[in-house]
A and B are shown apart, each in its own frame.
Chain A
């Protein structure tokens, strides 16, 4: 057991965790942040993606103790408030990039990290950036379109 300090979606927290607990299990089971999904627990599907230091990270391959001292952003922290969505969330809805919703959290966070680094990515860049996230339901085309839509909205909102 180890004591860890994390900042999760802007809020500091201190916890005691077992050595083998992954960040994904910690977020889901200890923090109740179940929006971080587990699709394979072997680092392939990307459903558990969270953002750490502006980077998309597999929470299933990251021990909670390893994350000690880090700031973590999860899907629950993406919307500015209870009534509004961030542009990427809104674009996923408008562009029908969501069907069953299981890959959605990881897709959104990966897309957010992409847009934060590259506000105007072309289709090839989006495909290359996002390809570690598997969607088995809606296909990828609408997700690409949604990322592009969000990029356009970002561009018009921040002149």
Chain B
């Protein structure tokens, strides 16, 4: 199972990267490559050109502005997980990162890559939605809940790069993450990322519930379950059927909200 042929290049600037991507419809930005490489190896994706953006300074760094945390798109999850800034201000993100694949994947996988890949069962897109992240691309700012459009689909144009994430601080630590999986070897079946807001409500984002994350704002576990049940648009994949997802998604929404409330009280 070898990679089909492609050309690799490592541009020195975002502008150059975008120019390269724009010039070839079968081009991909390459950062950690932890989802892209298996897809090319399994012949699920064809790439003519891989544009390595992992060393672009504009896509690196973690900083705190006083109200929000800014994270470079190509910053490896490994560093995000170990960032005291993120642990302090976005503990839900730290927790979600720690459940993504395994240490040997997170060492190279990036938040930008996970967002761009937009897998419907991934916990990170949902976590970004729950945290009300803003995605700053090479051309615009997009709210996370508008960024994720479908399974493997984002609002991003082909010649547009995610540069960084700006995530409002949610430092109170009231959060929960529910993940159901078959084994730890593989992607989750479904889950819920929840975080309490200053307004006293809880933002719950569901993954594995629909082609894109579902955002529920509530303060009641039963209501979360009901909304989850109504709004789920579940699907079959190799790990579970839509019937199963329809059944557990409300449970996970309820548990997540109840756990946030339990921390708060």
Contacts and interface: CB of A to CB of B under 8 A. Distances in A.
B30 A66 contact: yes
Interface string A43-56: 11010010010011
Interface string B32-48: 01100110011000000
Interface string B171-207: 0000000000000111000000000000000000000
A63 B103 contact: no
B244 interface: no
Contacts of A58: 34, 104-105, 108
A155 B119 CA distance: 43
Contacts, number: 90
Nearest to B32: A61
B33 A62 contact: yes
A77 to B, nearest CB: 17
Contact of B41 (A41, A52, A55): A41
Contacts of A57: 104, 107-108
Nearest to A55: B107
A43 B6 contact: no
A61 B185 contact: no
Interface in A10-67: 19-20, 22, 25, 41-44, 46, 49, 52, 55-58, 60-63, 65-66
Contacts of B30: 66
Contacts of A22: 3, 37
A82 B50 CA distance: 41
Contacts of A61: 33-34, 37-38, 108
Interface residues of B, number: 31
Question: Which secondary structure dominates where chain A touches chain B?
Answer: mixed
B102 A132 contact: yes
A42 B42 contact: yes
Name which of A2, A43, A55, A62 has the most chain B CB atoms within 10 A of its CB: A43
Interface string B8-29: 1010000000000000000000
A131 B102 CA distance: 6
Given A19-B6, A129-B103, A63 B1 contact: no
Contacts of B185: 44, 134
7 contacts: A20-B3, A20-B6, A22-B3, A55-B104, A56-B103, A62-B37, A132-B102
Interface of B: 1-8, 10, 30, 33-34, 37-38, 41-42, 50, 52, 54, 78, 98, 101-105, 107-108, 184-186
Given A56-B104, A60-B41, A133-B104, 20 more contacts: A19-B5, A20-B5, A22-B37, A41-B2, A42-B38, A43-B38, A46-B104, A52-B107, A55-B78, A55-B107, A56-B107, A58-B104, A58-B108, A61-B33, A61-B34, A62-B108, A63-B50, A65-B52, A128-B103, A130-B102
9 nearest CB pairs, A to B? A132-B102, A55-B107, A19-B8, A42-B38, A56-B104, A61-B37, A20-B3, A41-B1, A132-B104
